Amino acid sequence: MKKQLLTLLLACSLGVSAQAQLVTGTNVAVTSTESGQVRGYIHNGVFTYKGIPYAEAARFEAPHKPKAWTGVRSSLTYGPVAPLLDPTTSVQDESEFVFHHDWGYTSEDCLRLNVWTPNVKDGKKRPVLFWIHGGGFTAGSSQELPSYDGENLAKKGDVVVVSINHRLNILGFLDLSAYGEKYKYSANASMLDIRVALEWVKANIENFGGDPNNVTIFGQSGGGAKVNTMMSMPSAKGLFHKAVNQSGAFRGSVLEKSTTQAITAEVLKALKLDASQVDSLQKVPFPVLSAAGKTALKVVADKLKAEGKPVGGFGLSWGPSVDGDLLPYQMFANEAIELSKNVPLLIGTVKNEFMASLFAGMSNPTEEQVKDFIKKQYGDKAEAYLQAVKKAYPNDTKPSDLMDVDTRFRPGAVFQAKTKASVAGGAPVYMYMFNWQSPVLDGKYKAIHCVEIPFVFNNIARCEEMTGGTKEAYTLADKVSQAWINFARTGNPNHAKLPQWQPYTVEKGTTMIFDNTCEIKYHHDKDLMELVK
């Protein structure tokens, strides 16, 4: 620790800019983990560590602690990301400009995490914010978006930020549990990875200046769905103490074992393997395995449709399932709700999410074009839909605003908030809606899916392509990030720069509207939610 302080003092004496100060070296930012020492770097006063192994696992098997190392492990760059079903070989120019992805490099040995902290081994116990990336259950990584960088959030809030990579898609969810004990958790290996990462935090985070008894899990989109999964996992209870679900609430059920085993049978069939050859799946090249998985999902989805059974709003895909052990309950079963009864929840969505105008190629349609589109979507409910949207958002002016209001994620968030709020004696739930409209590209992208993340992480400058880097964006980011910091610290997001934010109740439906002017509304879109539920 003395060497780290001396290095910082030397940097200051040499006139290193305090604005973007970078301190590196053999003895800089060295701390300990159960597996050995790690060395990071210090940027802008924040100790940063990337690519630390939190576990290792053979394909389809349960994760276990990584092999110990001698000496000090360099931890300066992000580790490998999980292999993707569809590797990126081309992008759409305009949308890629807005999102600015970092695809990283892939490896099945991807169980890595990153840490940002104001200091290490200083005796302080800082709240820990444990970020779970989006991308559904099939894609994404801890470095995929520039908004995920934890430096500014750690610095502003005097908190520790952790982000993780874990197994995805067929590698994280192929149910081989019927073929031997070593595959017992294969149907939910991806979710087990997250639990093991939380166990790593419990065992190691004090060495990074964090409090293992004050951990908040937060995630967006698929990351929010993973937050829900952790909340319904009995063995994860006590590893986190607060939860934030950003645009990741879904009302649908997760898969049952009958379906996951049917998918596995089709994978084996596609690869021309029988039950005695299951172990060979551990050596099948990933592209071949992935292709077999796609075939299996389609076959099973077609069978379910033929039987009149649901396949989910996004179609049959890889994801968590009820396995009778790690995940014994459906997400909203009474037993699952009871598990997280005492965990405060912050939940919400963005106003426009997956914008219909973008997907329909109608970025600036006329009112008549919008009404025709809505009639095709809602039939005889079209007029009721239009009136409900106008009632909920009376100040909207663009015709496209009528078709771009999210009706996919918000209903699930409202349902979950009501469910949580109905638990007698349970922890509070706070609801938000992020309505701020991005000015980028003439305002075309509005409050699109992922737009709130730079505000949560206080990363406006890193994400100018999405936020515009405007004064208004910086002002709102200060309010939003402070709310998340306060929630992580105390379970209450309130602070002086926001209106008084009361917990959500079924009766009042209290919702914080994040915009250039933040305000509280009560069931503002009740008619719309009733129509689309």
Question: Does 241 qualify as catalytic in the annotation?
Answer: no
Catalytic choice (190, 449, 452, 481): 449
The residue from 353, 357, 438, 465 that is catalytic is: 353
Other residues' Cβ atoms within 10 Å of the Cβ of residue 428:
16
Given the structure tokens 């209870």, which residue do they identify? 237
Helix (H) or strand (E) holding 210: strand 210-220
Give the angle 340-170-319 at the CA atoms, nearest 5°: 25
Instruction: Round to the nearest angstrom and report the end-to-end CA distance of the chain.
Output: 56
- Residue 64 is among the residues annotated as catalytic for this protein: no
| Six-digit token string for 241 | 């103490």
Which of 163, 177, 190, 221 is catalytic? The answer is 221
CB of 150 within 8 A of CB of 240? Answer: no
Which residues have C-beta within 8 Å of that of residue 43, sequence separation ≥ 6?
Answer: 20, 21, 22, 23, 151
Rounded Cα gap, residues 136 and 96, in angstroms: 18
Residue 460: how many CA atoms within 13 Å on its side-chain side?
18
Cβ neighbourhood burial of 441 (10 Å; 0-12, 13-18, 19+): middle
CA distance 193 to 76: 22
For the chain, the residue count is: 533
Q: Are 455 and 476 in contact (CB under 8 A)?
A: yes
In angstroms, the CA 47 to CA 34 distance is 19
Count of CB atoms situated within 10 Å of the CB of 88 = 10
CB atoms within 10 A of CB 66: 20
Clarify whether 221 is annotated catalytic.
yes
Q: Which residues contact 2 (CB under 8 A, 6 or more apart)?
A: none
Which sequence positions are flagged as catalytic?
Answer: 221, 353, 449
